[in-house]
Structure 1
């Protein structure tokens, strides 16, 4: 497997957003890494140097700069199926934090219970880059996830994968959260069939979507992603969340973003203060149990 260069550290001090976020706002998609915690042998890059304590301090600086009171730490594949870096960060941050874990197909009830006890409220599946959890594994696990109050988070490409996923999403007994605007083909527009199917799921309350990581889809100032973001918010703001994707791992061809610029791009795409409050405060509070 080809290794990428070691990841660059994120912007030390993000630009403060041009408008304040509402009280109780949540950055619903960040990652935690640490070089004093076990890394996965199959990883494609090494994180920037730093211990768990140093990375936690960097995250707190990031959250303070954006005005975020709450955060959801999504376990990074760089640490494989060992969730200790995420659960330790959640413990360090206290009740303002929740975790999304990474488990293998067939994960035991004891493993799920331990994660739930540690503040992990969901598990993640990566349909784009692969990983250690499959969609078949999610379907098998879903009733047990529901029993532990957990949900499924998924990275997929709407234009490539939604046709095969949509029917299952409607019948799973747990919420399903799609990352990164559904990672659509922006050039195909919001009426592309896969993205239209995602919009329908969101409109019907059958799925959530994170309005995160437009920098993976287009260059700054990210206005090319605004139409897709606005279409999802118009479908149902009560099923939309926002996340910075800090500290911007596995960039590939994407340019490292400034988190403040990402939040400003969200403001541009969502001018309604009511919709912003629902996306930043109400929806994450309901989904993650803040």
Structure 2
């Protein structure tokens, strides 16, 4: 079966205001050509045609420079399943002083698997409730004490309006940090009083969860102002638990329009209340969570 291909990464774009020194893009994927990594047989698309690992890495370095980003977190793509080799390679090539990783493992991951991730520069494992994946909630919950032993946390993609209320007590009880991708993918059309989003704000206020201010383009088109209220509410609930990410190079779009990373940083700046919060979200919070 011929699979669709990701579009090639766009040319690097700059924001109106560069990120501050030490800023971190906490959500990117580094891909490669068919000979650069073991693609998962369960993937739903292929990397861009004619693009090698070196091409992706060079393009992302250019994007970092354009944004003023000095640190990054490479999230293992589902296109490669649990073979974290390419992500580990990207961590090393970008440099252990400025790059960290989030890996994929199965429910039956061994201590050896977790130790390998920890020593390779990974800071957590990802659970995908939206697209499905290799790790289940029950599996990661059972694994959590061992994750804590290896200094790993849980990164999770869910939909706040569908998943968060029943999971909230269990998330709050986790012995490791829980980071939610893409503003916890709320139903933006339901407004700020939607019960799942209110539950998210409560977890934020209690310091029980971290949220990435990423993936805005999956909710609305540029300039992404339709989600301003949700981003502002998260920043108000707990600015010390918010992170920023570009989701570069924005794969598996499912009909969404790709966004310029510079415009995504502009969207955050439009809502960010002051420079102290900007410094926290872009520099201090990721430094604390990822151990830079």
Aligned to 2:30: 32
Q: Distance in 2 between matches of 1:115 and 1:225?
A: 34
TM superposition shift of 1:50: 2.0
Runs of 4+ aligned residues of structure 1 deviating over 2 Å after TM superposition are 2-5
- Work out whether residues 3 and 44 of structure 1, in 8 Å CA contact, stay in contact via their aligned partners in 2: no
* TM-score in terms of structure 2 length: 0.97
Unaligned runs of 5+ in 1: none
Distance between the aligned counterparts of 1:70 and 1:168, measured in 2?
A: 31
Instruction: Report how many aligned residue pairs link the two structures.
Output: 288
Question: Equivalents in 1 of 2:106, 2:66: separation in Å?
Answer: 35
| Match among 248, 251, 254 for residue 250 of structure 2 | 248
**Residue matched to 2:107:** 105
- What TM-score does the superposition give when structure 1 sets the normalisation length? 0.97
Deviation digits for residues 70-112 of structure 1, max 9, x if unmatched? Answer: 0000000001110001000001111200000000002000110
Matches of 1:203 and 1:60 in 2, distance apart? 35
**How far, CA to CA, are the matches of 1:151 and 1:77 in structure 2?**
18
2: CA distance between counterparts of 1:269 and 1:185?
19
CA distance in 2, matches of 1:105, 1:192: 32
Other structure's SS at 1:107 match:
coil
Root-mean-square deviation (CA, aligned residues, Å) is 1.0
Q: CA deviation at 1:4?
A: 5.5
1:6 and 2:5 equivalent? Answer: yes
Contact 2:154 2:176 (8 Å CA) reproduced: yes
Deviation at 1:20, TM superposition (A): 2.2
Does residue 186 (structure 1) correspond to residue 196 (structure 2)? The answer is no
Residues 3-152 of structure 1: pairs in structure 2 closer than 5 A: 5-14=4-13, 16-35=14-33, 36-48=36-48, 49-94=50-95, 95-152=97-154
